[in-house]
Amino acid sequence: MRIYILIAILFFTSLGLAQSQANYDESKVPKFTLPDVLTSFSGNPITNQTEWEENRRREILQFFEKQVYGKVPDRLDEYGFKLLEESNDAYGGKARRKQIAITLKKNKKTITYYMLIYLPKGNPTAPVFLGYNFYGNHTVTADPNVAITKAWVKNNEAFGITDNKASESSRGIRTHRWAIEKMLDNGFGLATIYYGEIDPDKNDFSDGVHSLFYRDGQTKPKTNEWGSISAWAFGLSKAMNYLESDVNISKVFVFGHSRLGKAALWAGATDKRFAGVISNNSGCGGAALSRRQFGETVAQINTSFPHWFADSFLKYDNNERTLPVDQHQLLALIAPRPLYIASAEEDKWADPKGEFLSTYYASSVYGLYGRKGITSKEMPKTNAPIQNTVAYHIRTGIHDVMDYDWENYIKWANTFVK
Ligand code: GTR
């Protein structure tokens, strides 16, 4: 026990140290040239949708797949879902609730994860936001009928989580991050899953969805195979199998905050069934340009979270300029579907300017489809969203998800569901 506490203390102290030693000085951002999204790796200009989709999009996708997030090694043998619980009377009669178990099977091994869904009653087929939560479905709402996750969760004294087990004490502790009533009142539903049920967020590859795919004797993914972000994206994509089969659900906007904002972007890039993508404060390895080395860097993220990316990504530690891609190209993979990137003013570690510039440099691909992206390199003022097919805002405050964020996501998403 003591040794674990010691490791945890060392981990958080080193993370705090990394954050305090990071560069936050704009004048110290290295000079760099971004790889152009519309010029192929071999130097050919890309001028239309066909060339983009058949050549350039494919090569960028493959690069991110093998050299950044890591490839999903194979297909599943079986997929299944089961309705565990349902009510017509959630949120004071405003909403329908469903709790679904999703089971993935490979090599005779299975993993089950649980999706909580609220749908507005007045809308026979509602658009939904699909997003992972950090501590269990029971934390996003005070609703006493939501099942408590039995999976490993990170300890958190403030939430009463000890021994990596969730209990009643953490029910509703994250309601502020999920504006569920606002969603319902605007005709949207919410589907949410605890991310740790797909892959517990620790540097341990013996558990989670990775382990289903091992051959005899294998204990971790191969160098260019999936890290945790890719596994979480895979879980979202398999959740989509259920969502598209539900007659009460129309479009699905995949959403995520921070590390889960990185996973949402990768899910949107790899699965075109997501009608739109919203990535909140996703930072390094998410929306932020790696070459800026502002706040969290590739070397820092790979050191603090060695399990998030493919091992092949390690060669870009302190070596960002040799990356044939940057994160604006990840965003471009989502084109022409709606994409919303958001930052927070005090969240310097995530590099708000790098998150914004990414949306600007991805926008030429939206242009190929006649869609409006971000047209100026000038960052908008705080609390002054730009909402085109590519949208961006920076709000006051810290690294978090606030009502302000949801009000804007809902307003913007609404223009694509009419
Ligand atoms: C930080 C990490 C970020 C971000 C964040 C989060 O510690 O350095 O990349 O993912 O965690 O997920 O809250």
pTM here is 0.96
359 lines ligand 1 (CB under 6 A): no
Ligand 1 centroid to residue 146 C-alpha, Å: 27
5 Cβ neighbours under 8 A, 6+ residues apart: none
Q: Would residue 304 show up in a list of annotated catalytic residues for this protein?
A: no
Longest CA pairwise span in the chain (Å): 60
The pLDDT value recorded for residue 323 is 98
With CA atoms as reference, report the closest residue to 350 among 314, 395, 316. Answer: 395
Ligand 1 within 6 A of 347 CB? no
Q: Is the CB of 281 under 6 A from ligand 1?
A: no
Distance between CA atoms of residues 296 and 317, nearest Å:
12
Taking only the tens of pLDDT, the chain with its 418 residues reads 455 555 555 555 667 778 888 999 999 999 999 999 999 999 999 999 999 999 999 999 999 999 999 999 999 999 999 999 999 999 999 999 999 999 999 999 999 999 999 999 988 999 999 999 999 999 999 999 999 999 999 999 999 999 999 999 999 999 999 999 999 999 999 999 999 999 999 999 999 999 999 999 999 999 999 999 999 999 999 999 999 999 999 999 999 999 999 999 999 999 999 999 999 999 999 999 999 999 999 999 999 999 999 999 999 999 999 999 999 999 999 999 999 999 999 999 999 999 999 999 999 999 999 999 999 999 999 999 999 999 999 999 999 999 999 999 999 999 999 7
Determine if ligand 1 sits within 6 Å of the CB of residue 259.
yes
Centre of ligand 1 from the C-alpha of residue 258, in Å: 6
Does 258 qualify as catalytic in the annotation? yes
End-to-end CA distance of the chain: 55
* pLDDT value of residue 12: 57
Each residue of 207-245: b (16+ CB within 10 Å) or e?
ebbbbbbbeeeeeebeebbbbbbbbbbbbbbbbbbbbee
Given this model, what pLDDT does residue 331 score? 98
Up-side HSE of residue 74: CA atoms within 13 Å toward CB? Answer: 16
Amino acid residing at 386 = I
Sequence letter at residue 140:
V
Query: Could you say which of 228, 258, 282, 363 is catalytic?
Result: 258
Residue 11 CA to residue 304 CA, distance in Å, equals 8
Cβ–ligand 1 contact at 258 (below 6 Å): yes
Q: Tell me how far apart the alpha carbons of residues 321 and 353 are, in angstroms, rounded to a whole number.
A: 18
Ligand 1 neighbourhood includes 284 CB (under 6 angstroms): yes
- CB proximity list for 122: less than 8 A, separation 6 or greater: 187
Cα–ligand 1 centroid distance for 350 (angstroms): 8
- pLDDT number for residue 14: 65
**DSSP string for 60-110:** HHHHIIIIII-B--S--SEEEEEEEEEEEEEGGGTEEEEEEEEEEEETTEE
Distance 61 CA to ligand 1 centre (A): 23
Residue 11, pLDDT score: 59
Q: Give residues with Cβ within 8 angstroms of 134, minimum separation 6.
A: 154, 174, 194, 195, 260
Do 350 and 343 touch, CB atoms closer than 8 A? yes
User: Which member of 167, 304, 364, 399 is catalytic?
Assistant: 399
Q: What is the pLDDT of residues 2-31, one digit of tens each?
A: 555 555 555 556 677 788 889 999 999 999
Distances (CA, A) of 364 to 38, 266, 336: 8, 19, 10
CB neighbourhood size of 336 (10 A): 17
Q: What is the pLDDT of residue 17?
A: 76
136 lines ligand 1 (CB under 6 A): no
- Nearest-CA residue for ligand 1 atom 13 is 258
Ligand 1 centroid–CA 58 distance in Å is 29
Residue 19: what pLDDT?
Answer: 87
Taken as a whole, the chain contains a residue count of 418
pLDDT of residue 7: 57
* Alpha carbons within 13 A on the beta-carbon side of 386: 21
